[in-house]
Amino acid sequence: MPEPRSAAAPDIALVQRRTVRVLASGQVLTGVAFGSTLSLGALLAADLSGQEALSGFATAAVTLGAALTAIPLARLAAARGRRFALSAGNVAALVGIAVVIVAAALRLFPLLLAGIALIGAGNAATLQARFAATDLASTTRRGRDLATVVWATTVGGVVGPLLLAPGEVLGAGIGMPRLTGAYLFSFAAQACALALYVLVLRPDPLLLAQRRDRESAGAATVEAVVDRPALARYAMFAVAASHVTMASVMAMTPVHLSHIVAPDAVTLAVGVTIALHVFGMYGLSPVFGILADRVGRIPVVLLGQVLLAAALAVAATLPWSQAGVLVALVLLGLGWSAATVAGSALLTEATPLAGRPRRQGSSDTLMTACAAAGSVLAGVILNVAGYGGLALWALVPVAAVCIGAVAVRARR
């Protein structure tokens, strides 16, 4: 429901600080929910299907679910506000968690993918929370406010994978299907995030920004933004390409680790590796946000490509070393963070307020759809060329982003 207009104009800086705090708290909770189940997707898919080559379908399902719901959620945000859109994504994720547990109990692979796709809707809402941090942000703080919300995922994203082993013990103790115990933690965290958004995200940042924009019509604008579609398209491409590079390698890492560590240590090895990878994704995002504000968006996007290339080089040269895989996954997360923070800020500032939700939703749809296709292809490549070969193939989108940066700078 639209926000009622208050008699006194709100202090925008105060509202923005409160909004960032609420969004950051929500990211902690959804990070726990998503982080504790992300690592299990490939293992559950391989277990229920009986074929490791199909393990990539789990990441494909979660990213496809996010892709299919990103634009509808963006439209909900534009019409009803960020609170309504974020809450809708959380509800879908709660239903998805329940479906995954049922699928594991019945050993139904297609039902598992359907449940994981619903969890992807929750991930789409999580991704859009970073844009909610920019609705009321000033130009000089847009990168760091966005990055602060991204950074908050670090806490939940690191803690989540570390709950795999305790979740396995808890699940076994109460008779849950194998590999699903951690979903108990996911459900609880997702429910808390839902309550937070419904009760505390007030006033709605996007609705307030839209109201200010309408009130400024015919007078001095709050913030004049010239539409730069070519720059926005490059930002969308850079974010999508960086995401598919990260997701394709990360999705296959749990399966690869199951071949290079002792069978009784797989769960711990996967949990620690993914936890450190998630720390790389979010832990230094405020640094990249500050850099993006100070030195520019495109240079930080290119810094992300350098880090991604370094990660892939390590993975290609040390595929059978657990330490090598760990280093590669941390660098992979750092590269993704730099490119995503800077690219998202670039997309926002290249688009007027009225068109932002639509382009932001399109960006998230593109990045998740590409990652879905990349994850399926990654499973095939892993089966044919191995982990090192997968890393070499993942260099292709990295090179494309660098070439695109040269082209967009020349055009500007």
Query: pLDDT value at position 354?
Result: 85
Q: Compute the residue count for the chain.
A: 412
% of the chain beyond a pLDDT of 90: 53
* Cα–Cα dist 121/38, whole Å: 14
* Element containing residue 335 per DSSP (H, E): helix 322-349
Pick 50 or 335 by higher pLDDT: 335
Q: Which of 63-67, 250-254, 394-398 has the highest mean pLDDT?
A: 394-398
Is residue 219 assigned to a domain? no
Q: What percent of the chain has pLDDT over 70?
A: 93
1 inside domain: no
184 in any annotated domain = yes
Is the confidence at residue 409, as pLDDT, over 90? no
Residue among 40, 33, 31 nearest 168 (CA): 40
Considering only residues 325 and 38, tell me which one the structure prediction assigns the higher pLDDT: 325
Do residues 336 and 246 make contact, with C-beta atoms less than 8 angstroms apart?
yes
End-to-end CA distance of the chain: 41
* Predicted local confidence at residue 25, as pLDDT: 94
0.85 exceeded by the pTM?
no
Range from 209-213, 218-222, 353-357 carrying the lowest mean pLDDT: 218-222
Torsion on CA atoms 196, 67, 380, 267, rounded to nearest 10: 0
* Residue 247 in domain: yes
Q: Is residue 7 part of a domain?
A: no
Residue 220 is predicted with a pLDDT of: 47
pLDDT digits (tens, 9 = 90+) for 266-282: 878 887 888 788 888 88
Residue 329 included in any domain: yes
The domain that contains 100 carries what CATH number? 1.20.1250.20
The count of domains in the chain is 1
What's the confidence (pLDDT) of residue 232?
A: 95
pLDDT at 29 over 80: yes
Domain of residue 234 covers 12-212+226-411
Q: Residue 267 to residues 46, 235, 409: CA-CA distances in angstroms?
A: 14, 37, 46
| Cα 113 → chain centroid | 19
